[in-house]
Structure 1
Amino acid sequence: MATPMAKHGLTIAVNLRQNVHHIGCLQNISALLMPRCAVQTTCPLRTNYADWRMRRDAIRRQLTKEHSQERRLLNCIRKNTILPDEVKVMADQEIASLPRDSSYVRIRNRCAITSRSRGVVQRWRLSRIVWRQEADANHMSGVQRAKW
């Protein structure tokens, strides 16, 4: 499935199945898109969820984490204006073959307690309703209800 082509003096060889991308003088585009230092997280996996929506969102987050680098590389190829159309079509087909839930736009921020998706206060990962209850009960450090 490798397609060597020459256009505007650039030699392009793309093998999407094996994630090998060579474009012009850039020897490996994946080296540009890789993070400088990979940090291993040792967070314990959560096993109990408030409801099935929270579980589905956790699965989506895991799929996004697994396929993010490949999806990012393919999107760069798709949006490149120098590459020929055949290569862009191949990248489109590869993106279509990835799991639908591996896209980051399908991730929804949810309350960690109730799994509510709307009105989530990002700093605490709580919905506005739970956040207010916890603040009123003085269970949150540094938060005080306004009184006048």
Structure 2
Amino acid sequence: MNINSTSNLGKFVWKSQSVPGYGFQQVRNKWANWMMVRDVKRRRMSAENFLERTRINALRKNDVLPLEIRELADKEINKFEFNATPLRIHDRCAVTSRPRGNVLEWRLSRIVWRHLADYNKISGVQRAMWG
């Protein structure tokens, strides 16, 4: 399957800077822990199978098509590995691999995000001031 296809989501998941280990690595280690390794594996598999999987799902959910074609698509969808499903991707911090309290726009945990924002390391973030 060609990864350089025209799909926007496939491009984002595969070539984005927010996917750790693809062109940009962390300073201390390549991965924070084993859960991050598993998450990156799921993101890559999901990106590789994105186009074919969405086509088969469209056939499965189409009410206009005959029942035989929909049943064939149901059997065909099972050929993908379980980790290739986009629902298996869990939002984790790209630095610490923390699963909870993430700021989704930057894909960082609230703790890391706050630390970087305090030292002006995040573009477009300004500290609130009252006076």
TM-score (norm 1): 0.64
Higher helix share: 2
Consecutive unaligned residues in structure 1, runs of 5 or more: 1-33
Question: Are 1:106 and 2:85 matched, yes or no?
Answer: no
Moved more, 44-53 or 55-64: 44-53
CA contact under 8 A between 2:92 and 2:109: conserved in structure 1?
A: yes
Consecutive unaligned residues in structure 2, runs of 5 or more: 17-21
Q: CA 1:95–1:138 in structure 2 vs 1: closer, same or farther (change >3 Å)?
A: same
Question: Are 1:71 and 2:50 matched, yes or no?
Answer: no
Q: For the residues of structure 1 that align with 2:122 and 2:57, how far apart are their CA atoms?
A: 42
The residue aligned with 1:35 is 6
Give aligned pairs, total. 115
Query: Which letter maps to 2:108?
Result: L
Question: Are 1:56 and 2:38 matched, yes or no?
Answer: yes
Question: Are 1:83 and 2:62 matched, yes or no?
Answer: no
The residue aligned with 2:112 is 130
Q: CA 1:145–1:78 in structure 2 vs 1: closer, same or farther (change >3 Å)?
A: same
Bigger CA radius of gyration: 1
TM-superposed CA distance for 1:61, in Å, is: 0.7
TM-superposed CA distance for 1:142, in Å, is: 4.5
CA contact under 8 A between 2:39 and 2:90: conserved in structure 1?
A: yes
CA displacement 1:4-26 (0-9 Å, x = unmatched): xxxxxxxxxxxxxxxxxxxxxxx
Secondary structure of 1:146 counterpart: coil
CA displacement 1:41-99 (0-9 Å, x = unmatched): 59527581111111111100111111111111111111111222122111111111211
Q: For the residues of structure 2 that align with 1:36 and 1:99, how far apart are their CA atoms?
A: 20
Structure with the larger RCO, 1 or 2 (CA within 8 Å, 6+ apart) = 2
Q: For the residues of structure 2 that align with 1:60 and 1:45, how far apart are their CA atoms?
A: 18
CA displacement 1:113-136 (0-9 Å, x = unmatched): 110122211232211111112223
Query: Which letter maps to 1:56?
Result: R
Query: Which letter maps to 1:44?
Result: G
Taking only aligned residues, the RMSD between alpha carbons, in angstroms, comes to 2.9
The residue aligned with 1:13 is none
Question: Are 1:44 and 2:23 matched, yes or no?
Answer: yes
TM-superposed CA distance for 1:147, in Å, is: 4.0
Query: Which letter maps to 1:145?
Result: R
Higher strand share: 1
